Structure 1
Amino acid sequence: MTPRQDPIDTEAATAALPAPQPLLERPGARPAGPRRFLRDVAPPYLSNGAIGLVFTASGPIAVTLAVGAAGGLTQEQLASWVFGILFSGGAATLAMSLLYRQPLGFAWSIPGTVLLGPSLQHLSFPEVVGTFFTAGLLILALGATGVIRRIMAMIPMPIVMAMVAAVFLRFGTDIVSSTQANPAVAAPMVGAFLLLTAVPALGKFLPPVLGTLLAGCLAVAASGQFVAGMPGPLLAAPVFTPPEFTWASQLELVVPLALTVLFVQNGQGIAVLRTAGHRPPVNVFAMVSGAFSMLNACFGAVSACVTGPTNALLTSSGVKERQYTAAVTYGCLALACAALAPTLTRLMLSTPREFVLVLGGIAMLRALQQAFVTAFSTTFTMGALATFVVTISGLDLFNIHAAFWGLVIGYAVSRLLEPAHHAKL
Structure 2
Amino acid sequence: MAVSPLLAIERPHLPRPGIREIFGDLGPQEIGNGLVALIFSASGPIAVILAAAAAGNLSPDQTSSWILGAFLGNGILTLILTWLYRSPQAYFWTIPGTVLAGDALTHLTFGEVIGAYLATAVLVFLLGWTGLIGRIMAVLPPTIVMAMVAGIFLRFGLDLVGAATGDPMIAIPMIVIFVAISIFPKAAAVAPPVALAAMVGTMIAIFTGQLGSGILDNGTIASPVYTAPEFSFAAMTELVIPLAITVVIVQNGQGIAVLRAAGHKPGVNLAAAASGLVSIPMALMGNVTTCLTGPTNALIVSGPNKERHYAAAMVTAVGAIAVGLFSPAFVGFMLAMPVSFIAALAGIAMLTPLKNAFVAGFSGAFSTGALVCFLVTVSEMSLLGISAPFWGIVFGCLIAWLMDPKPRKSPTDPVPPAQPAPQPETTDKQPAHDRSR
| Correspondent of 1:302 among 263, 288, 296 | 288
Aligned twin of 1:243: 229
| Correspondent of 1:160 among 115, 135, 145 | 145
What is the CA–CA distance in structure 2 between the aligned matches of 1:22 and 1:144, rounded to whole Å?
7
What is the CA–CA distance in structure 1 between the aligned matches of 2:408 and 2:229, rounded to whole Å?
46
Structure 2, unaligned runs of 5 or more: 416-437
Aligned twin of 2:244: 258
Larger Rg: 1
| Correspondent of 1:343 among 329, 336, 339 | 329
What is the CA–CA distance in structure 1 between the aligned matches of 2:357 and 2:84, rounded to whole Å?
27
Number of residue pairs matched by the alignment: 408
Shift of 1:33: 2.1
What is the CA–CA distance in structure 1 between the aligned matches of 2:141 and 2:331, rounded to whole Å?
39
Shift of 1:316: 0.4
Aligned twin of 1:411: 397
Deviates further, 411-420 or 100-109: 411-420
User: 3-state SS of the aligned residue for 1:243?
Assistant: coil
Shift of 1:62: 1.1
Aligned twin of 1:33: 18
Deviates further, 177-186 or 156-165: 177-186
- One-letter identity of the residue aligned with 1:341: S
Q: Superposition pairs for residues 348-387 of structure 1, below 5 Å?
A: 348-387=334-373
Q: Superposition pairs for residues 17-416 of structure 1, below 5 Å?
A: 23-229=8-214, 231-416=217-402
Is residue 4–residue 10 contact of structure 2 (8 Å, CA) maintained in 1?
Answer: no
- One-letter identity of the residue aligned with 1:277: G
Sequence identity of aligned pairs in percent? 44
Deviates further, 219-228 or 161-170: 219-228
What is the CA–CA distance in structure 2 between the aligned matches of 1:232 and 1:415, rounded to whole Å?
53
Cα displacement string for residues 250-271 of structure 1 (whole angstroms, at most 9, x for unaligned residues):
0000000111000110001000
TM-score, scaled relative to structure 2? 0.91
Cα displacement string for residues 145-191 of structure 1 (whole angstroms, at most 9, x for unaligned residues):
10111111101111000000000000000101011111111111011
Residues 115, 19 of structure 1: CA spacing in aligned structure 2 closer, same or farther, 3 A cutoff?
closer
The CA RMSD over aligned residues, in Å, is 1.7
- One-letter identity of the residue aligned with 1:264: V
- One-letter identity of the residue aligned with 1:306: L
What is the CA–CA distance in structure 2 between the aligned matches of 1:147 and 1:422, rounded to whole Å?
27
Is residue 415–residue 422 contact of structure 1 (8 Å, CA) maintained in 2?
Answer: no
Deviates further, 230-239 or 23-32: 230-239
- One-letter identity of the residue aligned with 1:147: L
- One-letter identity of the residue aligned with 1:25: E
Shift of 1:21: 9.8
Shift of 1:22: 5.7
Is residue 55–residue 103 contact of structure 2 (8 Å, CA) maintained in 1?
Answer: no
Shift of 1:318: 2.8
What is the CA–CA distance in structure 1 between the aligned matches of 2:31 and 2:7, rounded to whole Å?
33
- One-letter identity of the residue aligned with 2:336: S
Runs of 4+ in 1 over 3 A off after TM superposition: 18-22, 422-425
Cα displacement string for residues 307-362 of structure 1 (whole angstroms, at most 9, x for unaligned residues):
00000000001311111000011101100111001111111111001111111111
Shift of 1:204: 3.0
Aligned twin of 1:13: none
Is residue 29–residue 189 contact of structure 2 (8 Å, CA) maintained in 1?
Answer: no
Aligned twin of 1:5: none
- One-letter identity of the residue aligned with 2:361: A
Cα displacement string for residues 103-155 of structure 1 (whole angstroms, at most 9, x for unaligned residues):
11110000000112221111111111110111001100111110111111101
Cα displacement string for residues 220-239 of structure 1 (whole angstroms, at most 9, x for unaligned residues):
12211011216232110110
Structure 1, unaligned runs of 5 or more: 1-17
User: 3-state SS of the aligned residue for 2:89?
Assistant: coil
User: 3-state SS of the aligned residue for 2:34?
Assistant: helix
